[in-house]
Amino acid sequence: MSAKDKNAQDKHAKDAVAMLTAQHREVSGMFKQFEDLGDNAKAGKQELAARICEALILHTAIEEEIFYPAVREAAKEGDDMIDEATVEHASAKELIQQLLDMDPDDDLFDAKVKVLGEQIDHHVEEEEEEMFPRAKKAGLDLVALGQQMAQRQQSLQASAAA
């Protein structure tokens, strides 16, 4: 990426909450697509489940490494909320690993994707209704945090591709 492109990207950088919210919508859309696939769409289901898992792995990493610690430090209260979110991530990661080790023909593949989607829906609702407003109220520099998160995500994507 050229310096000019980088400056343009920085100029239009999303704040951390906007970035995470956009990722929530993207993953939600993928879960909906999965749900709409027929029983015979095994290859499509496997490809889509893998994309869902990859997106969630990246998302949870930047939240745990950057966003949650920043909110924990800046907010006067909310440790319980962040602890709960971290536990929800751990549960999702277990299902993600199971899905990555499965084939769409395996028993419970579709059920595990559905349950993962339900868990993520619950998690997203709590973040967007409780954690994100608390982060805004705490006075965090959400644009700088968003830039840091975007850089970390690019780094993780580059590592995964290598």
All domains of the chain in start order, with CATH: 16-161 (1.20.120.520)
Q: Which of 70, 68, 101, 102 is nearest to 87 (CA)?
A: 68
Tell me what the pLDDT averaged over the chain comes to. 89
Share of the chain above pLDDT 70, in %: 92
Q: Residue 5: its pLDDT value, please?
A: 43
Does residue 7 carry a pLDDT above 80? no
> Whats the size of the chain, residue-wise?
162
Better-predicted residue by pLDDT, 25 or 158: 25
Rounded CA-CA distance 120/126 in Å is 10
Structure tokens at 126: 């709590």
pLDDT band at 1, cuts 50/70/90?
A: very low
Tell me the residue type at 120. Answer: I
Q: Residue 8: its pLDDT value, please?
A: 39
Structure tokens at 67: 């966003």
